[in-house]
Chains A and B, each alone.
Chain A
Amino acid sequence: SQELEQSPQSLIVQEGKNLTINCTSSKTLYGLYWYKQKYGEGLIFLMMLQKGGEEKSHEKITAKLDEKKQQSSLHITASQPSHAGIYLCGAALNNNDMRFGAGTRLTVKP
């Protein structure tokens, strides 16, 4: 079972559209990590959030962590085909081992 609920499981968007992926935990998160992956390949680190209310941006990707540190969102603005892949949220729920959400498979149609 997943201790991190990630939604949606899959997403198909038209190129240029914005999208949001959510990650929720019933426990307080010591650190929330966002990764991108293509199956069978390694993880690409995107962002890490630690403080309640924190928001970080890199290029067209913005990640936020709520004040309670139990929910995070990843927002992509003006999506491009290069954004396609599997997005994973991960968290050290007991401040040590990192566990992952179920993942969101993103397809961007040209």
Chain B
Amino acid sequence: GAVVSQHPSWVICKSGTSVKIECRSLDFQATTMFWYRQFPKQSLMLMATSNEGSKATYEQGVEKDKFLINHASLTLSTLTVTSAHPEDSSFYICSARDMTNYGYTFGSGTRLTVV
């Protein structure tokens, strides 16, 4: 079946630094990839939608300059948390939509801790 590889699975960084999270579809091409954030005891909240070769569409309240998304190919999207602060600590998870069957496949998530 379709597999999405997301890494790192966890990362600890210092305040003010930037962190890059990768989301890669291993055996299919993804027209669209999605980035979600999940705080403890809450659901997944969509942050942004990215289409290969174009700018990401951000949800209301999500700072595009802080959460940089690059979708350079049909199999790779990256999320960079710039100038991270402790309040950015969360669980980030990506999803890729298969361009052949339009199914959604989720990565295993990245736990970010900013200290």
Q: Mark B42-61, 1 if CB is under 8 A from A, else 0.
A: 11111001000000000000
Of A33, A39, A43, which one neighbours B41 at CB under 8 angstroms?
A: A39
B25 within 8 Å of A (CB atoms): no
Residues B93 and A103 in contact, CB atoms below 8 Å apart: no
- In the complex, per-residue mask of B103-115: 1 if CB is within 8 Å of any chain A CB, else 0: 1101111010000
Given known A-B contacts A98-B104, A103-B43, A43 and B93 have beta carbons under 8 A apart:
yes
Asked if B80 lies at the interface with its beta carbon under 8 angstroms from chain A, I say no
- Of the four ranges (under 10, 10 to 19, 20 to 34, 35 or more), the interface on chain B belongs to 20 to 34
Chain A residues within an 8 Å CB radius of B109? 40-42
Please give the distance in Å from A9's CB to the nearest CB on chain B.
10
Query: Which A residues are in CB contact (< 8 Å) with B91?
Result: 39-40
Main secondary structure of the interface of A (DSSP, over half): strand
Interface class of chain B by DSSP: strand
Report the interface size for chain A: residues with CB under 8 A from the other chain: 23
13 additional A-B pairs beyond A42-B108, A100-B36, beta carbons within 8 Å, are: A39-B40, A39-B41, A39-B91, A40-B91, A41-B108, A42-B106, A42-B107, A42-B109, A97-B46, A101-B43, A102-B42, A103-B42, A103-B43
Q: 8 smallest A-B Cβ distances: which pairs?
A: A42-B108, A103-B43, A43-B106, A100-B44, A102-B43, A100-B43, A97-B49, A42-B109
Would you give 18 A-B contacts (Cβ < 8 Å), ordered by A? Answer: A2-B43, A33-B104, A35-B106, A39-B41, A40-B109, A41-B108, A42-B93, A42-B106, A42-B108, A43-B93, A45-B106, A48-B103, A88-B44, A90-B44, A92-B104, A97-B34, A100-B36, A102-B43
